[in-house]
Structures are given as C-alpha cells and as structure tokens.
Amino acid sequence: SQKIEQNSEALNIQEGKTATLTCNYTNYSPAYLQWYRQDPGRGPVFLLLIRENEKEKRKERLKVTFDTTLKQSLFHITASQPADSATYLCALGTNSGYALNFGKGTSLLVTP
C-alpha cells in the first residue's frame, strides 16, 4: 500500500541550529514533492516544490532535497529561529492529477 512517512515525534532544536525533517514514501512515483508549514489552528502554507528531476532546491534559509532512488526528501531550515516552530507537512503529487497526498507532518520546536 502507499505510504508517506514523516517523523511522528516532535523535533526539538536550539535556536541557530539546522533543523532537518524527513519525508519517506513507498509505492509512489511522484512527479514532484512539496513542503508546507502549518501553524496551530490554521491552514497549511506552501513553502517549496521540488520536481523528480531536481536534486535540491533552496529558498532563503530553506533547502529541500529529493532522492527518488531512496524515495526520500529532506527539508532543512538553517539558522533556525523560534518563529520557525510549527508543523511541517510533505505532500506528493503526480502528473496524472492535481490532488496531493500528504504526510501526517512533523512538529518542530525551536527553543531560544
């Protein structure tokens, strides 16, 4: 069966360090992968998209990698700040439709 797995345990890191979140998938052939941020009681907000033929994407302090052999994406936040504390969701999409399949998310807590 298809699965998208993100660390269910919260990730606690100190301000200034790099946070690394993992998204693993099985029985999918995604054309692209997206990362969203969700704050409590709010809808997800799009952060980054990476396509299957791309290895890495960057946006300011954010970096995403995509390894289709390992079936894994890593999401990095460098120089993390308390304001980065949120739940981060990965989502997979295919070329055959516009619906996304979401992971359950990983909660990140950045402490001063």
Partner 1 sequence: DVKVTQSSRYLVKRTGEKVFLECVQDMDHENMFWYRQDPGLGLRLIYFSYDVKMKEKGDIPEGYSVSREKKERFSLILESASTNQTSMYLCASSFNREETQYFGPGTRLLVL
Does 28 bind partner 1 (CB under 8 A)? Our answer is no
Helix (H) or strand (E) holding 89: strand 86-93
Give CA separation, 94 vs 3, 16, 19, in Å. 15, 35, 27
Which CB sits closer to partner 1, 43 or 112?
43
Among positions 9, 60, 69, 99, the unique one binding partner 1 when judged by CB under 8 A: 99
Does 103 bind partner 1 (CB under 8 A)? Our answer is yes
48: left (phi over 0), alpha (psi -120 to 50) or beta: beta
Task: Using CB under 8 A, list all residues that contact partner 1.
Answer: 32, 34, 41-46, 49, 89, 93, 98-105
